[in-house]
Amino acid sequence: MSDKNLTEVLDADAQGIARAAAILDSGRLVAVPTETVYGLAARADSAEAVAKIYAAKGRPDFNPLIVHVRDIEQAGELAEISDAARSLAEQHWPGPLTLVLPCKPEAKLAGAVTAGLPTVALRAPAHPVMQALLEAVDFPLAAPSANRSGFISPTTACHVLASLDGRIDLVLDGGPTQAGVESTIVAVRADGSLEELRPGPVALAGAHRAEAGGVEAPGQLASHYAPGKPVRLNADHAETGEFLIGFGAVSGDCTLSAAGDLTEAASRLYDCLHRGAASEKQRIAIAPVPEEGIGIAINDRLRRAATPPD
């Protein structure tokens, strides 16, 4: 719990951003839109502030956080930037690519941010609101997705409130987010090789997928993004008691994309899951989504949504 029980919601205009900066400065929590999903931000240099993220989300303490930075220069204060890492950052920042890099021992980061790992996950986001906030404060922002741990990620301010109302100080409402699925996470090894720890909007040629369940990606839990009811994948019709999420020719109670467009499907994925979770139906069924392009990230999230919690 943060200091108070009331969650403020403000438009993400200059006034809202100034208020958010002041709240972050005092070590409290603000949900902020990014180009992927809403993040739950706290100053990354404060152990107390970072502890509030774990408490508000009910997040296990072995699951480290992504640190959001303005640019490569600020990233360089926190991590060793190899040539391979610099080249990736130059190509994809600002944008939905998170780089896992060796943490600098002198980095001003709360220990809980990296959950004791020798690496830190960094990304420079492209969303103008998150960028304005990073300009307004003089510390980097730790920000996981703004949802209770294990539940569906938020792509609107309303989704944030559905799971964190009363547990955080402020939501900056910047409208629905664009990409809809979380950033691609890539670990850059000392020899320059790349390991993809989480598929996302940025596809990297030459990155190989990490083994499922590896210690390197502690947050990649088998059950995640869970709507709180059973989920059936690859459905071409709804059975009794099912809320059907369609795609392409399979129409349903709502659709990821009637046109079968994967980019649209990614942007609507979590909203459809939130609708299914809120519906009166006891179960959710989801049409098949092609395993190509951003469909790989969509299917990764759907498999975890369909895996019951331990």
Residues 234-273 that bind Mg ion (CB under 5 A): none
Query: Nearest approach, Cβ of 32 to ligand TXA (angstroms)?
Result: 8
Residues 128-157 that bind Mg ion (CB under 5 A): 145
12 binding partner (options ligand TXA, Mg ion, none; Cβ < 5 to 8 Å by kind)? none
The structure tokens listed for 110 are 């709360």
Helix axes 128-136, 14-25, angle to 10 degrees: 50
Pairing of strands 119-123, 66-68: parallel
256 binding partner (options ligand TXA, Mg ion, none; Cβ < 5 to 8 Å by kind)? none
119 binding partner (options ligand TXA, Mg ion, none; Cβ < 5 to 8 Å by kind)? ligand TXA
Half-sphere exposure in the Cβ direction for 184 (13 Å, CA): 29
Query: Nearest approach, Cβ of 213 to ligand TXA (angstroms)?
Result: 12
197 binding partner (options Mg ion, ligand TXA, none; Cβ < 5 to 8 Å by kind)? ligand TXA
Residue ranges in contact with ligand TXA by CB under 6 A: 34, 36-37, 39, 63-66, 96, 98, 100, 114, 117, 119-121, 143-145, 182-183, 185, 197, 216-220
The structure tokens listed for 101 are 């890099």
Question: Which among 95, 99, 93, 66 has a CA at the least distance from the CA of 219?
Answer: 66
Smaller CB separation from ligand TXA, 129 or 284: 129
> What is the DSSP-derived secondary structure letter of residue 3?
S
Query: Nearest approach, Cβ of 254 to ligand TXA (angstroms)?
Result: 23
Name residue, tokens 């926190």.
Answer: 78
Is position 183 an interface residue for Mg ion (rule: CB under 5 A)? Answer: no
DSSP string for 53-94: HHHHHT--TTS--EEE-SSHHHHHTTB---HHHHHHHHHH-S
Query: Nearest approach, Cβ of 133 to ligand TXA (angstroms)?
Result: 12
Name residue, tokens 């960094």.
Answer: 122
Q: How many Å separate Cα 74 from the centre of its chain?
A: 21
Smaller CB separation from ligand TXA, 197 or 298: 197
SS3 224: coil
The structure tokens listed for 74 are 């600020």
Query: Nearest approach, Cβ of 56 to ligand TXA (angstroms)?
Result: 12
Smaller CB separation from Mg ion, 16 or 154: 154
Smaller CB separation from Mg ion, 145 or 163: 145
SS3 146: coil
Query: Nearest approach, Cβ of 68 to ligand TXA (angstroms)?
Result: 6
- Are 55 and 66 within 8 A, CB to CB? no
Query: Nearest approach, Cβ of 81 to ligand TXA (angstroms)?
Result: 15
Smaller CB separation from Mg ion, 24 or 40: 40
**List of residues contacting Mg ion (CB under 5 A):** 145
